[in-house]
Amino acid sequence: MTRPIIVGVGMHRFGRQPDSTLKTLAGHAATAALADAKMECGEVDCVFAANVGAGLITGQEGIRGQVALKDAGVGGMPFFNVENACASGSSAVHLAASYLASGAAETALVVGYEKMSAPDKSLAFKAIDACGDIEEIAAIKNALGPDGAGRSVFMDFYARKVQKYLAESGATTRHLAAIAAKNHCNGVDNEYAHFRSPQTIESVLASREIVAPLHLLMCSPISDGAAAIVLATESWAKARGRAGPVIAASKLRSDNFSNAESQIRGLALEAYREAGLGPQDMDLAEVHDGSAPVNVGGGLIARGHPLGATGVAQICELALQLRGEAGARQVRNARAAVAHCLGGQVAFGKTTGAAAMSIFILAA
């Protein structure tokens, strides 16, 4: 496939922002990305807007992207609203890259945005739980009873996966805490991160237990935020003297209910082959760590996890790193990077069943 170039990136800081709206979040990120690309709205051929919870949390359905971006002056081009659970942003990037590769457009604006905080906190949990089979969700909640109140069913699912991993690997909760502490410390230097306070193993373990063995500071927070990128074809960028990292490979699929780890590994191998690179060539990674693992920018744990924005934020972080513009968190001489994101759960009976899994390879 033709390799699209990331010519612009922009973000709105992640965090609890009660005074923000879908319009202010998405508009800020889109405007920043266009400014970074030195482009006007009229130069954008198409828009891919990723969001998960607006319908349940705010009541905005149907034309979410058009509404979210209208105050920023983005209009007059095809809009594609994308929803694919936590992989919504990744899916939007994948679709935009494919659209450009097809020859249908030369430039694309991708915006992932989410407004999860609300006076009624249960709405955020409803939006998260709606990323699974609601019949299975209802059965699990019924089985948990009062013990499952005040959290998403996904936390119980993640906890079960972690329990299995600890039993099979010999790792301990302290190892999980070390990973979480590392990510929190990485978030200190990320101006877009929800959490920017350093943590230690002890402080992570001292935080409230959500579901054993997961503690509060091991888990991604409920965040508001937005991220945007501008993609362009090589010919468009070359004609205008624009440069940036290329998306050397983009892969997306749903789970086929076999071994999830082998499927993700297989998807990654496909991406590496397409990019002409291997794991040994990667200088850094952005990994979907909703319940505890890598990430120079703090990952979901510290940067935050506004569902529809996360996948785009991963690409923003990697693009900044490959451009050498990540400031204090810059990875020296970064030339290639990989991003991994998962979204939703079609089946909870096993540790497989992801509704969407994506892999991107970026190269400077």
pLDDT of residue 78: 98
- CA count, 13 A, side-chain hemisphere, 343: 30
What are 3-27's pLDDT values in tens digits? 999 999 999 999 999 999 999 999 9
- CB-CB contact of 226 with 116 (8 Å): no
Q: Has residue 35 been placed in a domain?
A: yes
- Count the domains in the chain: 1
Q: Has residue 207 been placed in a domain?
A: no
N-terminal to C-terminal alpha carbon distance within the chain: 17
Q: Has residue 96 been placed in a domain?
A: yes
Q: Has residue 307 been placed in a domain?
A: yes
Q: Has residue 208 been placed in a domain?
A: no
For residue 280, give the CATH number of its domain: 3.40.47.10
- Residue whose C-alpha is closest to residue 307's, from 67, 14, 6: 14
- CB-CB contact of 241 with 39 (8 Å): no
Percent of the chain with pLDDT over 90: 83
What are 157-178's pLDDT values in tens digits? 889 989 999 999 999 999 999 9
What's the rounded mean pLDDT across residues 59-67? 96
Please give the DSSP secondary-structure letter assigned to residue 73: T
Q: Has residue 347 been placed in a domain?
A: yes
**Residue-wise DSSP of 248-302:** EEEEEE---SS-HHHHHHHHHHHHHHHHT--GGG-SEEEE--TTS---TT-HHHH
The phi and psi torsions of 293 (rounded to 5 degrees) equal -130, 180
pLDDT of residue 294: 57
* Two structure tokens written together for 36: 């970074």
What are 272-282's pLDDT values in tens digits? 999 999 999 99
Q: Which residue has the higher pLDDT, 29 or 154?
A: 29
Mean of the per-residue pLDDT values of the chain: 93
What are 242-252's pLDDT values in tens digits? 999 999 999 99
> Facing residues of 113 across strands?
226
- Residue whose C-alpha is closest to residue 277's, from 248, 318, 236, 314: 248
Q: Which residues contact 147 (CB under 8 A, 6 or more apart)?
A: none
Please give the DSSP secondary-structure letter assigned to residue 143: H
Percent of the chain with pLDDT over 70: 96
Name the pLDDT band for 260 (thresholds 50, 70, 90).
low
Q: Which domain holds residue 228?
A: 5-118+222-363
Residue 135 CB-density burial (10 A; 0-12 exposed, 13-18 middle, 19+ buried): exposed
Q: Has residue 272 been placed in a domain?
A: yes
Q: Has residue 156 been placed in a domain?
A: no
Residue 227 CB-density burial (10 A; 0-12 exposed, 13-18 middle, 19+ buried): buried
Strands 79-82 and 47-50 come out as parallel
